[in-house]
Amino acid sequence: MSTSFHEMTNEQLAQLLKEKEHNLVSLRFKLSMNQLENTASLRVIRKDISRLKTEARRREIDGGVRKDQLFASVKSTSPVASDSAPVERGGFLKGIVDKLTGRE
């Protein structure tokens, strides 16, 4: 990746991690459906996620914050888009749909 993770803000780091995790789920789904042509992209995404989490942990240690608190603090302060009406979903694909749509 051309952008150094060291230069990113905590919010940018959290957003990029969320995007990478979303991409990983999408690629795994394509792999299971035999639609993924470049299987090496899975490895690249996993390594990027590891690098992002390592940078987050380094910042937590430098800041004297407990483990996994960096992303938790970013999630709690970021504005959440609210829908006008909650959507009820269920069934065996609920977890996959939630990951792909960003709802957790």
The pTM of this model reads 0.67
**Gap between the Cα atoms of 49 and 23, Å rounded:** 10
10 has pLDDT over 80: yes
**Gap between the Cα atoms of 70 and 11, Å rounded:** 9
Count of domains forming the chain: 1
Over the stretch 50-89, which tens digit does the pLDDT of each residue have? 999 999 999 989 988 888 787 777 765 544 444 445 556 5
Tokens describing residue 55: 């940078």
The one-letter amino acid code at 69 reads Q
| Structural domain range at position 11 | 5-101
Q: What percentage of the chain carries pLDDT values higher than 70?
A: 78
Average pLDDT, the chain: 81
